[in-house]
Amino acid sequence: DAKTTQPTSMDCAEGRAANLPCNHSTISGNEYVYWYRQIHSQGPQYIIHGLKNNETNEMASLIITEDRKSSTLILPHATLRDTAVYYCIVRIFSLTSGTYKYIFGTGTRLKVLA
Amino acid sequence: DTAVSQTPKYLVTQMGNDKSIKCEQNLGHDTMYWYKQDSKKFLKIMFSYNNKELIINETVPNRFSPKSPDKAHLNLHINSLELGDSAVYFCASRPGGASGANVLTFGAGSRLTVL
């Protein structure tokens, strides 16, 4: 029951901005969008999250469309160490369990090229 | 170090055996999760506990039995292991409450191989 769709893979030149899109067209008004990345088979690492407004932190920027149906993660100056699988996640509230579920998409494999 | 730690990191076993994976977090979080990542890298939620109470069970076979002795620990016991159980199992935790800033923190994973 994935809530997000992402391209399977992308390439980006080192030093350039990497723009990773995510479609979450069925998102509800109070559901957050999170981005995580996974390098090799390490544990997923938190990058950024947002609800309605665009967000920026030391790792990345998150641009959310006004209708909230899609978002883009921006790595402003990609390095070789940014090569990873990037997951777009929607946090949903489960009425049956009374708690939050973090539903992962299939992820985008980003390869940063030297 | 503050973290979510899992043991063992690697586990190789025969079909039919019973095995356990342990998870501990020292972040003071209230809620813990088990996720399974298959060979296609898809991360699927299995269970969640909040303060030792099971709150999510995603129709996982009852050969899988999570146990939470206290809110800092969440273990996963698997009976009668099958080939299809081979995967990487990730433990995660987060603070309680509704704030969007309550992000998941993941462990490094436990790779289970069933022969």
Q: pLDDT tens digits, residue range A5-23? A: 999 999 999 999 999 999 9
Q: Rounded CA gap, A72 and A75, in Å?
A: 10
The DSSP 8-state label assigned to residue A58 in this structure reads: S
Q: Which residues numbered 53-82 in A keep a CB inside 8 Å of some CB on B?
A: none
Residue A53, pLDDT > 80, answer yes
- pLDDT, tens only, B8-19: 999 999 999 999
**Interchain contact A51–B (C-beta under 8 A):** yes
Are B92 and B107 within 8 A, CB to CB? yes
- Predicted confidence at residue A100, as pLDDT, reads 86
Mutate one of B21, B27, B39, B41 to test the A interface: name it (highest A CB count within 10 A): B41
- Predicted confidence at residue A94, as pLDDT, reads 83
Residues of chain B positioned with their CB less than 8 A from the CB of A92: none
Residue A50, pLDDT > 60, answer yes
Name the pairing type of β-strands B73-78 and A33-38.
unpaired
Q: List strand residue ranges (DSSP E) for chain A, in order.
A: 9-13, 18-23, 33-38, 45-50, 55-56, 61-64, 70-75, 84-94, 99-104, 108-113
The amino acid at A18:
A
- Predicted confidence at residue A93, as pLDDT, reads 86
- Predicted confidence at residue A1, as pLDDT, reads 54
Q: Which residues share a beta bridge with B92? A: B33, B106
Q: Residues A47-72: what's their mean pLDDT?
A: 95
Q: Residues A92-113: what's their mean pLDDT?
A: 89
Q: Residues B40-44: what's their mean pLDDT?
A: 87
Q: Residues A38-43: what's their mean pLDDT?
A: 90
Name the pairing type of β-strands A108-113 and A84-94.
antiparallel
Tell me the shortest Cα–Cα distance from A55 to chain B, in angstroms.
Answer: 12
- Predicted confidence at residue A101, as pLDDT, reads 87
Residue B110: pLDDT band (50, 70, 90) is very high
- Predicted confidence at residue B113, as pLDDT, reads 96
- Predicted confidence at residue A30, as pLDDT, reads 84
Is the Cβ pair B56, A41 closer than 8 Å?
A: no
